[in-house]
Amino acid sequence: MRLLIGLLFGLAGFVYAQQAAQPAAPAAGQPMPEQAVIRIAQAVQKAILTLPNYGVFDEIRFGIKDYNVTLNGYASRPTLKSSAEQVVKRIEGVKEVINNIEVLPLSPADDAVRARVYVAIYYNPVLSRYNPNRGVPAYSSPARWAMGITNDPPIGYHPIHIIVKNGNVILTGVVANEGDRNIANIQANSVAGVFSVDNQLAVAESAKPKKAKK
């Protein structure tokens, strides 16, 4: 049994269920109990989301199989890859961590693209409601921005994550509706220095059950 899990950043108010006691490991050849999968998944998600160096320019997904956790995704700073592995290793019940997180290039050009795409999306009149720093000027601290936005990313919960590699942009996370998803795509494509945009944003409303037609 294999469970692939994505960190969906737009589901605000996620409540972590109380962790149950670790069940005994299944006999060889038997699937991992669902209760154990859920318990470890909740712990992994919480550990990653609360990492101090995990932010809007990073994206981590994970899978669980036979008490082993596989980490995938992108890290804008090399320290994130190692710190994510370390916190997951400490979770009770995890046997092994396979770390496939890709460390993105340390590129001044990509750093500039991150800054411009961030402003284009989070300071857009429609999308600004997703900005945890709404009302604060984008360049309120020139000294900090001079160090590069990758080294000093905006703080707070950002439901739209911006991944940049060699000028190519991936948008991940969750938005409220299809219109917001399309606006984010248009805004990212309008930024100078962006070669392509892969819009992987999920739409929260699409997950709601549809009412039966009378």
Does 73 score more than 60 pLDDT?
yes
3-class DSSP assignment, residue 89:
helix
Percent above pLDDT 70 for the chain? 76
Residue 17: the pLDDT is 30
Residues 21 and 84 in one domain: yes
Which range has the worst mean pLDDT, 76-90, 142-156, 192-206?
142-156
Residues 127 and 200 in one domain: yes
Report the number of distinct structural domains present in the chain. 2
What lies within 8 Å, CB to CB, of 186 at 6+ separation is none
For the segment 28-41, the average pLDDT, to the nearest whole number, is 81
Residue where one domain finishes, among candidates 47, 82, 103: 103
CA 175 to chain centre: 13
What tens digit of pLDDT does each residue of 138-183 get? 655 555 566 688 888 888 899 999 999 999 999 999 999 999 999 9
d(C-alpha 119, C-alpha 183), whole Å: 13
Residue 134: the pLDDT is 78
Residue where one domain finishes, among candidates 75, 103, 131: 103
Residues 87 and 134 in one domain: no
Does 28 score more than 90 pLDDT?
no
Residues 28 and 96 in one domain: yes
Token couple for 43: 């712990």
Does 19 score more than 50 pLDDT?
no
Determine the structural domain holding residue 140 and report its residue range: 108-206
d(C-alpha 56, C-alpha 74), whole Å: 11
Residue where one domain finishes, among candidates 68, 84, 103: 103
Does 192 score more than 70 pLDDT?
yes
Residue 32: the pLDDT is 79
Residue 26 lies in a domain: yes
